[in-house]
C-alpha cells in the first residue's frame, strides 16, 4: 500500500497536467486555424491577381489590334465599337487567321459573382474569369483637342474592375485603368 501510494499521480498533479496540455492545445489550434485562414486569403488574392492580369493582358492585346472598317458610314462605325454594360464588341485584326474578326467580351451570371467570356470570330467562347467578377464597367472616352492639335481625337476604354471570390474572405481586388487602342486611334485621325 505504501509503495503504490508513492508511485501514483495525485489528483492535483493530473489536473495541472490537464490544464497545461489544454492551454497548449488551445493555442496550437488557434494558431493553426489562423494560419489556415491567412493562407486561404492569400491564395484567393493570388487567384484574383492572376484573373485580372490575364483579362487585362488579353483585352489590351485585342484592343491594340482593334481596327475600324472605314468603308462604312459614321453611324455604322459607331456600331463597330459598341459598349453596353454587359457586352463589349469591336473588330480586331487576328494574326492567326490573317483577317479582321469580331471580338466579343461578355459578362454573364448573377450580379456580384459574374463570369467574363471572350469570343473571337467563329472560335469557341472562352471563360476568362470564372464567377469572380464583383463588378466590371467599361466606358469609351473620346478626347478632342484644341489649338495646334485641333481636329485630333483620342479614344480610350476606361475600365474599372472589382474582383472577389465567392467565399469573399479576402480583400476585393480593384483595378482602374485606361486602355488606348493605338491602331484604331491612328485610323480615326487619318480619316
Partner 1 sequence: MNSTNRKSGLSLIEIMLSLAIFAIILLPVFMTFSSGNKNIMITETEFRAHTAALEIMEQIISLPFELIPVGKFSSRQIKSDDPENPSPIPFNVTANSSFQPELEITPVKKNDKVRFKKISVIMKFPAAKTDKRERKIELKTLVANEEI
Question: Which residue ranges make up the site for partner 1 (CB under 8 A)?
Answer: 6, 35, 38-39, 42, 45-46, 49, 52-53, 56, 60, 64, 141, 143, 145, 147-149, 152, 154-156, 173, 175-182, 185-186, 189
C-alpha atoms less than 13 angstroms from C-alpha of 108 in its C-beta half-sphere: 10
Nearer of residues 43 and 97 to partner 1, judged by Cβ: 43
Residue 128: phi and psi, rounded to 5, are: -85, -45
Of the pair 6, 96, the CB lying nearest partner 1 is at 6
Read off the C-alpha cell for 40.
486561404
CB of 47 to partner 1, least distance (A): 10
Nearest Cα neighbor of 162 from 170, 151, 153 is: 170
Q: Closer CB to partner 1, residue 101 or residue 175?
A: 175
C-alpha torsion sign, points 20, 24, 29, 30: positive
**In degrees to the nearest 10, what's the CA dihedral of 28, 29, 35, 39?**
150
Give least dist CB 153 to partner 1, A.
10
Nearer to partner 1, 23 or 123 (CB): 23
**Shortest separation between residue 23's beta carbon and partner 1, angstroms:** 13
Q: Are 66 and 183 in contact (CB under 8 A)?
A: yes
The answer to whether residues 168 and 40 touch, using CB atoms and an 8 Å cutoff, is no
Nearer to partner 1, 8 or 86 (CB): 8
CB of 124: closest distance to partner 1 in angstroms?
Answer: 28
As a whole number of angstroms, the distance between CA 103 and CA 82 comes to 11
Q: CB 109 → partner 1: shortest distance, Å? A: 25
Amino acid at each position: 500500500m505504501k509503495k503504490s501510494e508513492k508511485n501514483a499521480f495525485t489528483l492535483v498533479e493530473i489536473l495541472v497536467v490537464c490544464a497545461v496540455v489544454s492551454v497548449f492545445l488551445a493555442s496550437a489550434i488557434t494558431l493553426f486555424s489562423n494560419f489556415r485562414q491567412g493562407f486561404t486569403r492569400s491564395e484567393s488574392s493570388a487567384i484574383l491577381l492572376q484573373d485580372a492580369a490575364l483579362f487585362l493582358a488579353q483585352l489590351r492585346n485585342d484592343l491594340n489590334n482593334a481596327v475600324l472598317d472605314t468603308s462604312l458610314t459614321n453611324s455604322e462605325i459607331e456600331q463597330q465599337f459598341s459598349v453596353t454594360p454587359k457586352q463589349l464588341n469591336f473588330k480586331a485584326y487576328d494574326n492567326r487567321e490573317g483577317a479582321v474578326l469580331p471580338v466579343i467580351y461578355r459578362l454573364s451570371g448573377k450580379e456580384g459573382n459574374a463570369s467574363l467570356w471572350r469570343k473571337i470570330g467563329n472560335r469557341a467562347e472562352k471563360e476568362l474569369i470564372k464567377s469572380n467578377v464583383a463588378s466590371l464597367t467599361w466606358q469609351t472616352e473620346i478626347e478632342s483637342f484644341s489649338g495646334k492639335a485641333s481636329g485630333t481625337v483620342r479614344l480610350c476604354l476606361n475600365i474599372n474592375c472589382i474582383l472577389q471570390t465567392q467565399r469573399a474572405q479576402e480583400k476585393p481586388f480593384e483595378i482602374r485603368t485606361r486602355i488606348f487602342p493605338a491602331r484604331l486611334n491612328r485610323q480615326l485621325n487619318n480619316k
